[in-house]
Amino acid sequence: MRYRIERDILGMVKVPYYAYYGSETARAIGNFRISGLTIQQGFIRSYALLKRCAALANMRVGKLDGKRGRAIIRACDEVMRGRLNDFPLDIFQAGGGTSTNMNLNEVIANRAIELLNGKRGDYRMVHPNDHVNMSQSSNDTYPAAICMASYFAVRDSLLPSLDTLLHELRLKTREFSGIVKIGRTHMQDAVPITLGQEFSGYAGIVEEAIEGIRHAQTLLLELPIGGTAVGTGINAGRAYSKAFIGELNKASRARFYVSRRMFAVMQNRSAELSLANAVSEAAVGLGKIANDIRLLGSGPRAGLGDILIPEAQPGSSIMPGKINPSIPEMTNMVCFQCIGNATTVREAVSAAQLEINVFEPVIAYNLLFSLGILTNAAATFSRKCISGVKANTAKIREGIEMDLSIATALNPYIGYSKAAEIARKAYRENKSVKEVCIELKVMDKKKLDEILDARHTT
């Protein structure tokens, strides 16, 4: 492999000749061979957008000359379009995201140098720190990039996916509104409910999750841009911050704003924590729905069998013809992962010390990981499972006819104790509650038919 030699404060560094990154990235590659996990492309695109807006803002306030600025902007555009994909760093790296920030700075600088007909590594033309990182620090740009990437992921992917799931659940709520079935509490038979009412509960869970995520999303709009190293704004200035936000909002169609609590937001990353918690709560709810779908669809002969689930793929390597609830199972596993990711984010946020949080790389990775997999899981669960769920009316009818809990409807007429005796007798003799009531001549049959009509109890 051919190399070029770059120099930093620690000495000479060999950098692959054709790499767009430079010395700091090369050192980080050598130091942090930990997991093989790299930051998501959505984060890189958001960070490149940040660098683009910073260049425009620095040009507007007269700090960056037009020739360099335009080259930097073109290089940022190429990163955003995925044409420059030279970001190999492990997510477990130096604290504060400095290595990733410098990776962006070096790639953008070297591409800008090429656009100005120079050779990579000739930082006299465009310098990673002096020009690409002008008015910035890893300490204010890295958390800003997390907020930007997370906001875009929620707006453009997660919320639309959850909205689709909510729509399908509401359709099932209406479709199943007239199907009366046995309700269940404590995994035992309970008073009747319609299958539509049961699915309305699932729709409500998703609706609540959406509301929580929307609230957390608004917190991401507050950016520590211009705070630079510790929040004082050294080497930046208010004019720069104002110009940056203007460029960002124009490019993103959002309403980001410069934090008025600069020291607080640089010290404590509560916005990311709020979103991680909201996603975790959504995962808890979605996991409950997936659990119920697996239970209600269990069988095909010895399970609950209230619903029929679309068949996605063969379910066993040894049992011929067995079909498992593969899509709900996948959904459950994604939910477990999101809950675990939120724990990692919470621990990382809680470990902040003094002026900044140095654990932002692991916050960024786990938060964006959750947003990505929950988006895909909700869309797949909706499309390949919920939309195709059918009511198993024969099994439901069989169950409702022998429902013991329907005796609850007798309470106002004969009292709890007498109704309990009837229910236990029906169970022991494998009879319906109505059959026992008729046998014991509890009341007029016409009145009994009215009281024990399951449709009147839902």
In the Cβ-directed half-sphere of 146, how many Cα atoms lie within 13 Å?
Answer: 31
Angle (CA) 114-146-18 rounded to 5° is 25
Give me the torsion for CA of 55, 57, 63, 66, rounded to 10°. Answer: 60
The answer to whether 111 touches 75, Cβ cutoff 8 Å, is yes
Cα–Cα distance for residue pair 343/281, rounded to 1 Å: 12
Cα–Cα distance for residue pair 74/163, rounded to 1 Å: 36
Token pair recorded at residue 191? 């008073």
* Coil/strand/helix, residue 114: helix
* Coil/strand/helix, residue 36: coil
Cα–Cα distance for residue pair 108/20, rounded to 1 Å: 8
The answer to whether 240 touches 61, Cβ cutoff 8 Å, is yes
**DSSP string covering 160-216:** HHHHHHHHHHHHHHHHTTT-EEEEEETTEEEEEEEHHHHHHHHHHHHHHHHHHHHHH
Rg (CA), the chain: 30
Within 10 Å of residue 188's Cβ, how many Cβ atoms? 10
Cα–Cα distance for residue pair 96/55, rounded to 1 Å: 22
The residues carrying an active-site annotation are: 186, 316
Cα–Cα distance for residue pair 18/120, rounded to 1 Å: 8
Q: Are strands 307-308 and 390-391 parallel, antiparallel or unpaired?
A: antiparallel
- Residue recorded with tokens 């069988």: 299
